[in-house]
Amino acid sequence: MSAIKKMVKLRIWRGDSKDGALQDVEVEANEGEVVLDIIHRVQATQMSDLAVRWNCKAGKCGSCSMEINGKPRLACMTRMNMFEEGETITVTPLRAFPVIRDLVTDVSFNFKKAMEVPAFEPPADLKPGEFRMQQVDVERSQEFRKCIECFLCQDTCHVIRDHEENKKSFAGPRFFIRIAELDMHPLDILKNRKQTAQEKHGLGMCNITKCCTEVCPEHIRITDNAIIPMKERVVDVKYDPLRWLGSKISKREGIV
Amino acid sequence: MSGVFSSTRAKISERTLRTDRWWLQPAITVAVLASFVVYASFRAFEAKNYFAEPLISPFYSPCLTSRCPEGASLLGHPFGTIALFGMAISPALLILIFPLGFRMTCYYYRKAYYRSFWQSPPACAVAEPHSKYTGETKAPLILQNGHRWFFFAGLVFNVILSIDAILAFRNAQGQWGHMSVGTLVLLTNATLLWLYSASCHTCRHTIGGRLKHFSKHPLRYKLWTWVSILNHKHANFAWVSLFGVALADVYVRFVASGSITNFYFF
């Protein structure tokens, strides 16, 4: 039995940092295909110089992030059968980052922000091989380790998407889960991680509108499990005088 | 030009290319929240038809001024009569700040009204209309960090409204062992409010979320896992409990004004 074939309409943004436009194209689609398959077919048959970043085609490398019908998505995980019959599918590069060419953007902002997050700091007397942790103590952090760094959360976050000037002072949801992961880690002893989250990485800029959670292809509950818990931890050390006083009278766990 | 129209970004003239009805959810939120605010304001200023033995409207409990009718004041009249420009203030206005503050600073409602009223952003990947954004780093929005104080005040209100529901197991003459539709209404309202509070992110943090080592606190860890389950449904509880408060007030108003009779099962 042969696979069902049909023609689909696409509008693909083509251009560079100086200029660009959406270009219409019609291409064949087969049953079971995803948007990345269709883009590859366009590249093979009609636009041989179309720039697109991709790698694993399995939703694990985070390379093929783009905006499909205006929503930040992984092209390799967006199935063609989710679109209506005859619907024109619009494909653009990520709109929060500088465009390089066609569907490829410069996401180096994220790597700079990654370098600004203070690294994991275990107790000085613990040597490699001596780390011992209970499963219940690390499972919160493990959720955040699922991140594939597709940067869809960064792309959709209005703090930087709609305000270029905030990029200086805002790390973004991907790095809030990194900070939360470390702050919740049972062996991380770095002091002031909460304070720097607020003062240096811009946690207070987040107004918890949850778009990062909505677009995460790994279904990490970024807002509920990382950002809001970090905001509460920041309140403990910066905005709650009773907790602060309590921490001075007796050493309380978590208040550092 | 800033945001998605910045010079380095892909040149696309539309603020969004979304094709779904992204505007529907914020529109519904505006309609529902605005309706509630209008109704609650009307009822808070009306200052009548809020008590019909043994039922009291959640908008007026605890009733703390000497305007409150006999039997409506669980905690007495510590404020006597408070007047402004010669007019006695409604008892509802005295306590309004606590439930209002709890909901205004709630992490879920913040998402709801930032998106729908302030359009910041109206929906995901839809450009917001503001030229500047500082989030919750400056006054007045930095006060959102006081959510926990309203959470604890809200717990006190939950206790009082639960007592109101228990007192509703009496008849209009004050005899115990009776149950009416009003009893069910107040019980449902109190239950929904407890669920809303228990599912709160601050509750989740306080009960165990702030700990670094769950393994050293097995009881708090267990409680945290339960609260986490409820926390998944926090948005649902936020809405349902809001409707619960409004409907409980509507019911008490109808009974108190004589429009309907509070039906007793026994």
Q: Residue A253: which pLDDT band, with cuts at 50, 70 and 90?
A: low
Confidence of residue B86 (pLDDT cuts 50, 70, 90): confident
Burial of B172 (0-12, 13-18, 19+ CB in 10 A): middle
Three-class SS of residue B176? strand
Name the residue facing B10 among A13, A156, A234 (closest C-beta): A13
The answer to whether residue B178 neighbours chain A at the CB level (below 8 Å) is no
Least confident of A32-41, A133-142, B81-90, B187-196: B81-90
Distance CA B46, CA B227 (A): 37
Q: Which residue has the higher pLDDT, A209 or B79?
A: A209
**Binning pLDDT at 50, 70 and 90, where does residue A1 land?**
very low
Which tens digits make up the pLDDT trace of B8-32?
A: 999 999 999 999 999 999 999 999 9
Structure confidence by residue, pLDDT tens digits, A79-127: 999 999 999 999 999 999 999 999 999 999 999 999 999 999 999 999 8
CA dist A27 to A6, A45, A77, B217, Å? 8, 9, 19, 59
**B13 assigned to some structural domain:** no
Of B126, B227, B10, B187, give the one whose Cα is nearest residue A104: B10
Residue B152 in domain: yes
Q: Which residues of B touch A210 (CB under 8 A)?
A: 111
Find chain B residues with C-beta within 8 A of A209's C-beta: 111, 114-115, 120-121, 124
Quick check: B3 and A165 CB within 8 A? no
The predicted complex's ipTM stands at: 0.94
Residue B82 lies in a domain: yes
Q: Kindly state the average pLDDT of the residues A226-253.
A: 86
Specify the number of domains making up chain B.
Answer: 1
Contact B213 A214 (CB under 8 A): no
Alpha carbon distance B95, B97 (integer Å): 6
Rg, chain A, Cα only: 22
Average pLDDT for residues B131-142, to the nearest whole number? 95
pLDDT of residue B69: 85
B86-to-B28, B68, B78, B92 alpha-carbon distances in Å: 40, 18, 20, 18
Closest-CA residue of chain A to B211:
A254
Confidence of residue A255 (pLDDT cuts 50, 70, 90): low
Q: Is the pLDDT of residue B133 over 80?
A: yes
Digit-coded pLDDT (tens) for A46-76: 999 999 999 999 999 999 999 999 999 999 9
Closest listed residue to residue A12, CA positions, set A64, A90, A83: A90
Structure tokens at A243: 């907790």
Q: Is residue B3 part of a domain?
A: no
Q: Which domain does B62 fall in, by range? A: 21-256
CA distances from B41 to A121, B24, B84 (A): 53, 26, 17
Contact residues, chain A, for B120 at CB < 8 Å: 158, 207, 209
Is A131 part of the contact surface with chain B (CB cutoff 8 Å)?
no
Residue closest to B116 by CA, chosen among B50, B62, B231, B35? B35
Spatial neighbors of B235 by CB under 8 A, at least 6 apart, are: B108, B112
Cβ contacts of A231 on chain B, cutoff 8 Å: 145
Residue A4, pLDDT above cutoff 90: no
* B37 to chain A, closest Cα gap in Å: 22
What pLDDT does A3 receive?
66
Strands A20-30 and A5-15 turn out to be antiparallel
Chain A residues 38-57 with CB within 8 Å of chain B: none
Contacts of B90 by beta carbon, 8 Å cutoff, 6+ apart: B44, B45, B46, B47, B67
Nearest to A136 among B3, B110, B214 (CB): B214
Tell me, yes or no, whether B116 lies in a domain: yes
- Predicted confidence band of residue B81 (pLDDT cuts 50, 70, 90): confident
* Whole-number pLDDT of residue B83: 78
Residue B14 maps to a domain: no
A125-169 pLDDT per residue, tens: 998 889 999 999 999 999 999 999 999 999 999 999 999 999 999
Classify strands A71-74 and A5-15 as parallel, antiparallel or unpaired. unpaired
What domains can be seen in chain A, in order of their start residue? 5-105 (3.10.20.30), 108-249 (1.10.1060.10)
Q: Does position A6 have pLDDT exceeding 50, yes or no?
A: yes
